[in-house]
Chains A and B, each alone.
Chain A
Amino acid sequence: MAEGPPIIYLNNAATTWPKPPEVLEAVRQSLALPVFGSGRTTGSQGEDYITLAREALSALFVADPPEHVVFTQNATDSLNLLIQGSLAGCEAGCRVLTTALDHNSVLRPLHELERQGRIRLTVLPFEENGTVSPESVEAAITPDTRLMVTAHGSNVLGSVQDISRIGEVLHDHGVFFIADGAQTAGHIPINLRALPVDAYVFTGHKGLFGIPGTGGFYLRDPESVAPVRYGGTGTDSFSLFQPREMPERFESGTHNYPGLAALAAGANYVASIGVKAVAEKAERQTAFLIRELKKEPNVTVYNESPSLPIVSFNIRGMENDDVGFILARAYGVIARTGLHCAPLVHRAIDGGSGSVRLSLSWFTTDEECRLTARAVKEIARNADSSVDSP
């Protein structure tokens, strides 16, 4: 096995690969000329990648105005900023809701606040279909509930929350709502003009085809979140306090220009295909994979009807880590194994031992799905023939 098989990359829920040629070209171009940023240089010949990226995302998410799209390092950074900022006036302690579906990017900041005695935390369980019902959200709301943060799409089960109904319930009770769209941005149509969320978080390097190191959020009402970072913005520089205007209220320091150039190109690429077309192709390929995997009695698929291109499974009698190892080394299939930074999901579905996750992107081919299904089935059949070596 000196030379491995060609790569079939199915770890797109972590980071998409490959990137569209337009994204690679945007990064190259952004570094070919000096950085242009209004207020930070007298140069004028460069592209304003920050504005381009803001406009591209504003259009993709139907989120007005573009200045309410704020850039950060990634989704985790966005969530920390929004959680801290939205709880700024909550010194006496208040209740925060989240779900067992959530990623450590939500769970860890909230558990840390709980440990500090700043919040009381309620973690809602999910139902068999991988969603939390609006009814259970409503039942969990108490007079002191101030905030709910939840994943829009599960990175383990591929289920998508009904954030429209959940948002309505929360707003009826005056609860601030942050939806973590790390797994949904670029994968399914998002219309923030219609969705009752107060903040929607995205990352650049997954479904939006940007490069690592970019992310952000859309914030409906800037005054609802206090800035928790302060610094130079290139504007209103006589003032020794953070500007109140958007997006400077939340963006300090030099931007990641190559990253934002890539993000603009990635978002425009997705828009040029159409998110609906992306979702339809993903649905067809995901359904094929699940149908094939289910043919093996040894294989357990944890959500047989995901709304995102994510398939989590285990093979009876084998550790998920071994399955991933074999898939990679013997078949060139790059998956992800373990807990996927979502420990509470795994506690519920597999006793906390983790699973193998296959996650697709627009660039995944039908042939790759076919080869992957064949590989998993072959491993599953051989799992029965495991022998103790002499």
Chain B
Amino acid sequence: MRILRSIRHKSCADGSFMKEFLLDAPVPEGFFAYLGNFGHVEALPNLGEGFYKFEKPDWFSIKGFAGDTTVEVRFKKEVMDLTVDFLYLLFSSYREGAIDLSVLKQREQAIRRRVREHLYGRG
């Protein structure tokens, strides 16, 4: 799955930075289960084709409906430069069936350290 473009954005009251991403294909339900490997996913499966919200604290959150071609992403503004590439990687790495998560996990580990340092210092 690929992000085609960011179609609008704004700064939110909670200090986050919101972007809406247009995807090259409808989001399958399995995508949100896959995201669960990297954070917390909540679902309201009976609304529309299923509403999902992925939270990766201090990084970003993703919300959207299964079957939709757009998702809304809220970045923690202070570390957005560090995390935005990982978001693109999450989308481009997804495919149906078994996925090797090792590369993604390594990348996540490396970025996590930098995010923590940026937000909370080296201590």
A contact set with B: CB distance below 8 Å:
1-2, 321-322, 325-326, 329-330, 338-339, 343, 354, 378-379, 382-383, 385-390
- B42 touches which of A339, A343, A388 (Cβ 8 Å): A388
Q: Are B67 and A1 in contact (CB under 8 A)?
A: yes
Contacts of B64 on A, CB cut-off 8 Å? 329
Interface positions, chain B 14-58, Cβ under 8 Å from A, are: 26, 32-33, 36, 40-49, 51-53
Contacts of B26 on A, CB cut-off 8 Å? 1-2
* Count of A-B residue pairs with CB < 8 Å: 62
Q: Select from chain A the residue with minimum beta-carbon distance to B44.
A: A382
- B53 touches which of A322, A330, A338 (Cβ 8 Å): A322
Write out, one digit per residue, whether chain B residues 65-79 have a CB within 8 A of any chain A CB (1) or not (0). Answer: 101110010000000
B82 to chain A, nearest CB (A): 24
B contact set with A: CB distance below 8 Å:
12-13, 26, 32-33, 36, 40-49, 51-53, 63-65, 67-69, 72
Contacts of A325 on B, CB cut-off 8 Å? 51, 63, 72
- B13 touches which of A1, A329, A354, A379 (Cβ 8 Å): A354
Q: Are A388 and B44 in contact (CB under 8 A)?
A: no
Task: Give the docked Cα–Cα distance between A2 and B26 (Å).
Answer: 8
Q: Which of B36, B40, B53, B67 has the most CB of A within 10 A?
A: B53
Task: Give the docked Cα–Cα distance between A338 and B64 (Å).
Answer: 18
Cross-chain pairs A/B with CB under 8 angstroms, 29 sampled: A2-B67, A2-B69, A322-B53, A322-B63, A325-B63, A326-B47, A326-B48, A330-B47, A330-B48, A330-B51, A338-B12, A354-B13, A379-B44, A382-B46, A382-B47, A383-B44, A386-B42, A386-B44, A387-B45, A388-B40, A388-B42, A388-B43, A389-B33, A389-B36, A389-B41, A389-B42, A389-B43, A389-B52, A390-B36
Contacts of A343 on B, CB cut-off 8 Å? 13
Contacts of A388 on B, CB cut-off 8 Å? 40-43
Contacts of A379 on B, CB cut-off 8 Å? 44, 47
